[in-house]
């Protein structure tokens, strides 16, 4: 099986595995078992009817927003563990919202390249979102990211639960339609630009990206084999200059550069040393 087919299969299995409480989708209720106390690695809303685990970003906001003065050790430890072990491999293989964007990118429409002058500053957007969600959770005790921005929450929880459960449908208001607008914009963008949410807005990707340079999963360039043809950079959906920055915080470890290299100059894997 080819690398990208294998990746799609893993992404589908990860999305299904994280949302395997099938009765929830029929009854319009959420799973309340003990596995919900464990954080999943990707952006997967804990109010999705099928969710077996908790979203780490939602959990972080909930922990900070409790205003108990306690350091949110459990959630931060989980994020740190996923970050150092996998980095943004989570984005490329385990995140259900990443899978959705990858599938949308396959729709045969002309693909746009965001000009560098616009792309570079927008990339800092995800770090701003990460900073703001932590700051506002502390100040306002509210899950601001979940409430006003997270498209996964509306897609995985809001839309199915309001469709299945009339008591939730009655609560639809301006906030619901604001989030629906955000989701529609992201879905439309993903048809033309690869992974727009991951590139510009995802706080989880911003956090995991910090570990790409120091984590266990590494991409390596064998200088002796590289002829600097630029095929790896051209194949990269995240527009990473692979040869010069193989462990860039932007790299989602999708492996397209590995497929594109005609000289096997790139290798990826877990390295303990």
Partner 1 sequence: MRDKRWAKWALLGLGIGLILYGAATGQATGTLRKAILICLECMGLGA
Q: Is 176 in the site for partner 1 (CB under 8 A)?
A: yes
Q: Is 37 in the site for partner 1 (CB under 8 A)?
A: yes
Contact pick of 42, 98, 153, 237 for partner 1 (by CB under 8 A): 153
By beta-carbon proximity to partner 1, the closer residue of 123 and 145 is 145
Contact pick of 216, 231, 235, 245 for partner 1 (by CB under 8 A): 216
Residue with tokens 């205003």: 67
Q: Are 41 and 86 in contact (CB under 8 A)?
A: yes
Q: How far is the CB of 203 from partner 1 (least distance, A)?
A: 14
- Using the contact rule CB under 8 A, the part of the chain among 19-27, 108-116, 143-151, 189-197 near partner 1 is 143-151
Cα angle 44-28-141, degrees, rounded to a multiple of 5: 50
Largest separation between any pair of C-alpha atoms in the chain: 64
Q: Is 67 in the site for partner 1 (CB under 8 A)?
A: no
Contact pick of 154, 221, 261, 265 for partner 1 (by CB under 8 A): 154
Contact pick of 20, 22, 80, 138 for partner 1 (by CB under 8 A): 80
Q: Are 59 and 73 in contact (CB under 8 A)?
A: no
Q: Is 162 in the site for partner 1 (CB under 8 A)?
A: yes
Total of chain residues touching partner 1, rule CB under 8 A: 58
- Using the contact rule CB under 8 A, the part of the chain among 2-10, 11-19, 98-106, 207-215 near partner 1 is 207-215
Q: Is 273 in the site for partner 1 (CB under 8 A)?
A: yes
Give the HSE-up count for residue 239: Cα atoms under 13 Å, Cβ half-sphere: 15
Residue with tokens 């009339």: 166
Q: Are 18 and 36 in contact (CB under 8 A)?
A: no
Q: Is 24 in the site for partner 1 (CB under 8 A)?
A: no
- Using the contact rule CB under 8 A, the part of the chain among 69-77, 98-106, 228-236, 250-258 near partner 1 is 69-77
Q: Please, which residues bridge with residue 219 across strands?
A: 268
User: What separation in angstroms does the CA of 71 have from each of 39, 54, 66?
Assistant: 17, 18, 11
Q: Is 161 in the site for partner 1 (CB under 8 A)?
A: yes
CB under 8 Å, gap of 24 or more: what pairs does 127-133 form? 127/206, 129/201, 129/202, 129/203, 129/206, 130/203, 130/206, 130/207, 133/57, 133/60, 133/61, 133/203
Contact pick of 58, 196, 246, 249 for partner 1 (by CB under 8 A): 58
Q: How far apart are CA 196 and CA 190, in angstroms?
A: 6
Q: Is 95 in the site for partner 1 (CB under 8 A)?
A: no
Give the HSE-up count for residue 152: Cα atoms under 13 Å, Cβ half-sphere: 30
Contact pick of 18, 19, 78, 248 for partner 1 (by CB under 8 A): 78
Q: Nearest CA to 61 among 132, 7, 114?
A: 132
Binding site for partner 1 (CB under 8 A): 30, 32, 36-39, 45-47, 53-55, 58-59, 62-63, 66, 70, 72-81, 83-85, 142-143, 146-147, 150, 153-154, 157-158, 161-162, 168, 171-173, 175-180, 211, 213-216, 273
């Amino acid at each position: 099986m080819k690398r990208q087919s294998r990746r799609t299969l893993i992404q589908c299995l990860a999305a299904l595995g994280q949302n395997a409480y099938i009765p929830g989708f029929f009854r319009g209720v959420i799973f309340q078992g003990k596995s919900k106390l464990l954080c999943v690695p990707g952006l997967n809303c804990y109010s999705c009817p099928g969710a077996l685990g908790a979203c780490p970003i939602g959990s972080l906001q909930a922990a900070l927003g409790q205003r108990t003065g306690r350091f949110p050790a459990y959630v931060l430890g989980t994020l740190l563990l996923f970050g150092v072990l996998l980095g943004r491999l989570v984005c490329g293989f385990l995140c259900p919202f990443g899978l959705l964007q990858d599938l949308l990118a396959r729709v045969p429409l002309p693909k746009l390249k965001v000009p560098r002058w616009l792309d570079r500053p927008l990339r800092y957007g995800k770090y701003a979102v990460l900073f703001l969600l932590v700051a506002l959770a502390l100040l306002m005790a509210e899950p601001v990211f979940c409430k006003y921005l997270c498209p996964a929450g509306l897609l995985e929880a809001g839309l199915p639960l309001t469709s299945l459960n009339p008591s939730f449908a009655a609560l639809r208001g301006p906030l619901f339609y604001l989030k629906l607008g955000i989701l529609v914009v992201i879905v439309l963008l993903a048809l033309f630009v690869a992974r727009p949410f991951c590139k510009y807005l995802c706080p989880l990707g911003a956090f995991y990206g910090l570990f790409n340079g120091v984590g266990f999963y590494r991409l390596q360039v064998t200088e002796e084999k590289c002829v600097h043809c630029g095929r790896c950079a051209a194949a990269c959906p995240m527009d990473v200059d692979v040869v010069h920055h193989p462990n860039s915080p932007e790299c989602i470890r999708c492996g397209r550069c590995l497929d594109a290299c005609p000289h096997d100059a790139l290798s990826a894997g877990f390295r303990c040393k």
